[in-house]
């Protein structure tokens, strides 16, 4: 089993390691090491198209992560109070949203948005001069719908592990439900909410499939990388991929740390 596990991990991570290695090549070949240099990192960070795509990805990821954290936390609190078949139904919907392939979500979101736009634009445009179209808003909305499920699962797990006696004690001492939420419930949930935020940001920042269908004229970093690869892989692409991978790993480690802290903290 150790040999099998080693082979699996090599199959998964060796190609990633090769990309990171070749990103430090001083030559123009993306598959041969020709000296060691960080020149391609400098060229990637000075490329205006890369910077614009990075800003778009960061803006979408930050906005969607904030909205997913807020709505996901609210949904998790609401689902905790549900019982019976209604809770089973909503639980199934949450997990289905996580398990459905991204291409299915992308196509379904595209069809839904196009249908809405075709129904609303005929009367909205004459009145306001504004026409709904694919772009930042549609991309953010699609990512919120996907990442919110992750936040719900994480926050609900934290809610179920909380010591309910603290909330009951707050009520017994005369605190209002709102005061109990801000002073007791929210501080206990904060590590899980922060972990959900980091995961939502990571999934949104790295997403290509959903963004490809609903981004419209917006170009995120994954879309830029895909478009560039069609013209050939260069060390600059390797450098961009390495930086994205390092950022994603850092955020995942932070999210895991927050979840571990939430699990081991004293109630």
Task: Determine, yes or no, domain membership for 32.
Answer: no
Distance CA 234, CA 219 (A): 19
Task: Determine, yes or no, domain membership for 8.
Answer: no
Task: Determine, yes or no, domain membership for 86.
Answer: yes
Structure tokens at 125: 């445009």
Task: Determine, yes or no, domain membership for 6.
Answer: no
Residue 214's domain comprises 48-264
Which residue, chain included where needed, has tokens 């905790």? 80
Number of domains in the chain: 1
Mention every residue, 6+ apart, whose C-beta is less than 8 A from residue 162: 185, 188, 189, 267
**Of 88, 90, 84, 99, which is closest to residue 72 (Cα–Cα)?**
90
Helix axes 221-229, 48-80, angle to 10 degrees: 130
Distance CA 247, CA 7 (A): 26
List, for residues 138-197, the tens digit of each pLDDT value: 899 889 988 899 899 888 888 887 777 777 777 767 777 777 778 777 888 888 888 889
- The DSSP annotation for 5-62 comes to HHHHHHHHHHHHHHHHHHTTBSSS-SSS--SB--HHHHHHHH-HHHHHHHHHHHHHHH
> In this structure, what CATH number is given to the domain that contains residue 58?
1.10.3720.10
List, for residues 211-258, the tens digit of each pLDDT value: 888 888 888 888 888 888 877 778 888 888 888 888 888 887 887 777
Task: Give this prediction's pTM.
Answer: 0.81
Task: Determine, yes or no, domain membership for 147.
Answer: yes
* pLDDT score recorded for residue 130: 82
Task: Determine, yes or no, domain membership for 24.
Answer: no
* pLDDT score recorded for residue 266: 44
DSSP letter at 185 equals: I
* pLDDT score recorded for residue 267: 46
């Amino acid at each position: 089993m150790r040999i099998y596990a080693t082979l699996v991990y090599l199959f998964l991570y060796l190609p990633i390691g090769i990309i990171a290695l070749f990103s430090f090549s001083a030559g123009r070949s993306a598959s041969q090491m020709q000296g060691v240099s960080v020149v391609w990192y400098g060229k990637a960070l000075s490329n205006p198209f890369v910077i614009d795509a990075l800003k778009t990805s960061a803006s979408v990821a930050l906005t969607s992560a904030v909205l997913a954290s807020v709505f996901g936390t609210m949904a998790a609190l609401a689902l905790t109070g549900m019982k019976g078949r209604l809770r089973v139904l909503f639980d199934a919907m949450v997990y289905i949203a996580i398990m459905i392939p991204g291409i299915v979500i992308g196509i379904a979101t595209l069809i839904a948005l196009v249908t809405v736009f075709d129904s609303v634009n005929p009367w909205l445009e004459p009145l306001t001069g504004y026409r709904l179209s694919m772009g930042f808003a549609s991309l953010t909305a699609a990512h919120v719908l996907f990442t919110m499920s992750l936040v719900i699962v994480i926050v609900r797990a934290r809610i179920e592990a909380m010591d309910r006696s603290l909330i009951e004690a707050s009520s017994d001492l005369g605190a209002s439900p709102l005061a109990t939420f801000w002073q007791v419930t929210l501080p206990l949930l904060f590590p899980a909410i922060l972990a959900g935020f980091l995961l939502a940001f990571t999934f949104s920042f790295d997403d290509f499939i959903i963004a490809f269908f609903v981004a419209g004229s917006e170009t995120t970093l994954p879309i830029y990388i895909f478009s560039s690869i069609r013209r050939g892989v260069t060390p600059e692409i390797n450098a961009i991929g390495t930086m994205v991978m390092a950022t994603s790993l850092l955020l995942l480690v932070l999210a895991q740390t927050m979840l571990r802290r939430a699990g081991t903290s004293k109630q």
